[in-house]
Amino acid sequence: MEPLIIKRTCMGSPFEITAWPGGSRGAAEAAVLTAYAEVARVEDLLTDFRDSPLTALNAAAGGPAVKVPEELFGLVDFALGICRDSGGAFDITYASAGRLWREAFCTGVPPAPERIAEALRLVGHAKIELDRAAGTIRLPEKGMRIGLGSIGKGYGVDRAWRVLRDLGLENFCVNGAGDLRVASSPGAPRPWRIGLKNPFAADGRAAGCLEIRSGAVVTSGDYERFFVHRGKKYHHIIDARTGRTRDDIASVTVLASTAALANAYSISAMALGPEEGAAFLRRRREASGVIITAAGAVINSNLKTGSKETYAADRL
């Protein structure tokens, strides 16, 4: 039986779900369409490009606490844990300054240092006030903003994965613009093979591959969204501590139980840089990864090598 492959544009990105039906192809297709509806629901919850519970929370910054949906509260709480673990390199309040870089991607000119410094005054995850009993969140300073793009796509992948599981599918892959989560039945003939992009190969050649039966794989890199100004590359992943991009790291691939976790960890390591990022991943018992530096060195962080997981050698 051939796999069912259905593509959609979700959360501003190309999504692709590949599923082996196992039974009725019509039932499998209905399950995939239901999964895409769930991704659309997540986007409506987390978007900051139009009205949503998140934009309502941001609009109330500087005022009283806001009652938010339980799901949004949980995601903010989850993300704050990553903020603390990363020492603030990953910070969901970076959205306060992120607008400067959105503008930079339109103009091709990086923000002036003084504008970055001014915007960073509003950045600081420790300022966010959570009231678990009341289910409220407060942003104490006017102009503060929360952005969940760093985990939102991964979370959308996770929710689609859960829908497919709940509807009876056993062998499938949810791919949200490279944020992947797979499932395999115990009797599946082979694992899923996932290529690791070589950030220096214009022809799309892989740097290696992973073979997994379950879990999520996410790669963050400097090669998908970037611009060059006066000979220097500026990519879209910013160290929230400095408000600037790094030029010493090319990509980070993380393997974890969920796509949201892998998403957050890969961005954290990318923002931290090669040495700090590798140390950060090695402290994560629930994840492993590969870092490729701007010089082409490959750093393994907890990733087992051998018959089930392979990757490029020491240098590309």
**Hey, where are the domains in the chain?**
53-147, 190-310
This prediction has a pTM of 0.93
- Tens digit of each residue's pLDDT (9 = 90 or more) over 244-303: 999 999 999 999 999 999 999 999 999 999 999 999 999 998 999 999 999 999 999 988
Cα–Cα nearest to 150, from 248, 259, 294, 253? 259
Report whether pLDDT(20) > 60.
Answer: yes
Which residues in the chain belong to E strands, given as ranges? 4-10, 13-20, 66-67, 129-131, 136-138, 171-176, 179-183, 192-197, 206-212, 215-221, 226-229, 232-235, 238-239, 244-245, 249-256, 287-293, 298-301, 309-310
Across the range 219-241, mean pLDDT stands at: 92
- Tens digit of each residue's pLDDT (9 = 90 or more) over 84-106: 999 999 999 998 788 899 899 99
CB 184 within 8 A of CB 268: no
Q: What confidence score (pLDDT) does residue 308 get? A: 39
Strand pairing of 13-20 and 171-176? antiparallel
Across the range 235-240, mean pLDDT stands at: 92
Fold (topology level) of 53-147:
T-fold (1.10.3980)
Class of domain 190-310: alpha beta
- Tens digit of each residue's pLDDT (9 = 90 or more) over 291-313: 999 999 999 998 865 433 444 44
Q: What confidence score (pLDDT) does residue 314 get? A: 46
